[in-house]
Every structure is written in structure tokens, then in C-alpha cells.
Amino acid sequence: MPKEKELTGREKAAVLLIALGKEYSAKVFKYLRDEEIEQLTLDITNVRRVDAEMKEGIIEEFYEECMAQNFITEGGIDYARDILEKAIGQERAIALINRLTASLQVRPFDFARKSDPNQILNFLQHEHPQTIALVLAYLEPAMSANILAKLPAEKQTDVVARISTMDRTSPEYVREIERVLDKKLSSLGTDDFTSVGGVESIVEILNAIDRGTERRVLEELEVEHSDLVDEIRRKMFVFEDIIKLDRRAVQRVLKEVDTSDLTIALKTATEDVKTLIFENVSKRMGEMIREDMEYMGPVRVKDVEEAQQKIVNVIRKLQDTGDIIISRGSEDEIIV
């Protein structure tokens, strides 16, 4: 195994994932692209031995980079440099900042994230839907949801459609919108096209918005973009999100779920999900499900996903009828 300084970034990432353990590494993989997972998997398989000193060095480097990126996000590069100099010394702080700024791109509209959403709304409400979509795609989902909910109804659907189908945006256009929105331009650092938006982005925004606005926007969007709405709905609440339900809601859902579907769905479920389910079924039912899972044998991933989607559909149906409530962390709801 080469020395730490001789390792590539991917090799260091592989060592870090090994150090984190299988459970946390699996969670990290959920946020990576298929090609990244493939590359990292190959690097992990090539790691034969990692001594304690190398492992600690890589973990410390990762921690310092995370800390520096957080400081840059909070207050900019100068703020990050000042804090880091006090924490790890001037020489290491400067080296770390220089290394990060060579590859780290400060996200556009960073200044806007600390602004009052109503101020941003005042600027955006009379703008073209494409401009609104661009800004909302860059902001935090909770802030974007706040602004989207207050836009005129006729613009909401158009903006959602544009965010969902957005792919790459010219940096010149981004800079111009930034300049108009605020005199303090965020540094883009590169002239490469910037990826933003997409279905994942609008899913996060709609998950944070109030249920009434979400339903109306999706219903109107479905008229001309039914396939897109189907994809959005599939991703808005996934099977693993069942742990967000309270005990009463879980029990209500299980009354509507076929036991065979539940058994197949649990085949690849996380331990947290399995624990939740078994805590909310009778002891006898739990034993039956465990026994069926044990003797079921191999099951196609497609069949597991279909069973999980059936349960998700039940959850969404019960939510629509008001039988259960899916907690949305960003909402200040009072439930009585």
C-alpha cells in the first residue's frame, strides 16, 4: 500500500469508506452516481492493508475539509480562513483553503440563502418562470418551497415543470441573474456548465411545501406531463421513509397492506424499517413474516421494488384521504 501522500483522491475515499464501516458506507453510496460507485468499489477491493496511522491521517484530512467547506458555506472564504487559522494554524489553514478553492465551487446564490424569503419573492414574482426556476433550484428546498407557495397559482405549475426538466445552465446567465438579484456576486470559479435542477431537486422542494399546494401543482402538471408527475410521485416518498410515520399511522397502513407484499418488501429493508414493522404487528404475525422471509429464497430486485411501491401507494392514498399524516420537518404544523 503506498504512503498517504501518494494516494489518489479516489484511493483516499476508498480508505475512508472502509474506516467508516459498511453501514455508513452504504448510506454514502446512496448519494453517488453509478459510475462513482463502480470506481470506488474497484478501489475498495484493491485495498489490502491500511495501517492505523494512515487511516487516522485520511480521516483527519476529511474532517478538516468538511469543516472548511462548512465555514466557506457559512461565511465565505475569508471567514473560513480566519476560523481555520485559529483552529489548525495559519500554514495548514492556507494550504487547506488553497487546495479546496482549486476544486470547490461556491454554490451560486449563496448570499440569497441567508436573505428573507419575502425579499427574494418580491424580486422573483414578476420575473419570467425560467428565471424563477433557476433561482429556486439553487436555494435550500425549504426556502424554495416557501417562495413557490406564495407565487401566483398560474406560475407555480410552470416553475415546477421548468425545475424538473432543467439540466445545464450557462454560467453567464447564472452570473447575470445573480448580479440583478444582489450586487454581491458569488464566485463560480469555473466557466464549465453548471448542473442544477432535475427531478430530485423538485422532489425536495415539493416535500417541503404544504400538502394543498403540492397536490394542486401536481394535478395541473399532470395534464401535460403525466410521465414526469409519475416519476416525481414515485420519488417523493420511498419505502424507507416509512420510519417517518408515527406508530398509529404505521398500524393504519399495515391494515391495508397484503402480508405477502409486506414480506417481499422487507427482503431488502433496513434494520430500522424491519424493527418498526415488527414492533407494530402481533407477535404471531411477526413470526409468520420472519419464517416466510427465511424460506422464501432469492427474490428478484424488481419484485421487491414492486412490493415496496405498493405499500408506498397505500401510504400516499391514506395521506390523501386524511387517514394518516406524513410529518414534514420544515412545516410548523400543530396537530390536535
Q: In terms of domains, do 132 and 214 share one?
A: yes
Judge residue 182's burial from the number of C-beta atoms within 10 Å of its C-beta, 0-12 exposed, 13-18 middle, 19 or more buried.
Answer: middle
Judge whether 327 lies within some domain: no
Judge whether 132 lies within some domain: yes
pLDDT score recorded for residue 274: 92
Domain CATH number, residue 229: 1.10.220.30
Amino acid in position 118: N
For residues 49 and 45, give the distance between their C-alpha atoms in angstroms, rounded to a whole number. 11
pLDDT digits (tens, 9 = 90+) for 141-155: 888 888 898 888 888
- CB within 8 A of 100, min separation 6: which ones? 65, 68, 69, 72
Q: Answer yes or no: is pLDDT of 207 > 70.
A: no
Give the domain range for residue 275.
Answer: 239-320
> What is the number of domains present in the chain?
3
Judge whether 334 lies within some domain: no
pLDDT digits (tens, 9 = 90+) for 303-326: 888 888 889 888 888 887 888 877
pLDDT score recorded for residue 187: 35
pTM given for the model: 0.41
Q: In terms of domains, do 115 and 96 share one?
A: no
CB 318 within 8 A of CB 324: yes
Q: Answer yes or no: is pLDDT of 253 > 90.
A: yes
Q: In terms of domains, do 48 and 68 share one?
A: yes
Summary count for the chain: helices (H), strands (E): 19, 2
Residue ending a domain, choose from 188, 211, 235: 235
Residue ending a domain, choose from 205, 235, 265: 235
Q: In terms of domains, do 263 and 206 share one?
A: no
CB 206 within 8 A of CB 217: yes
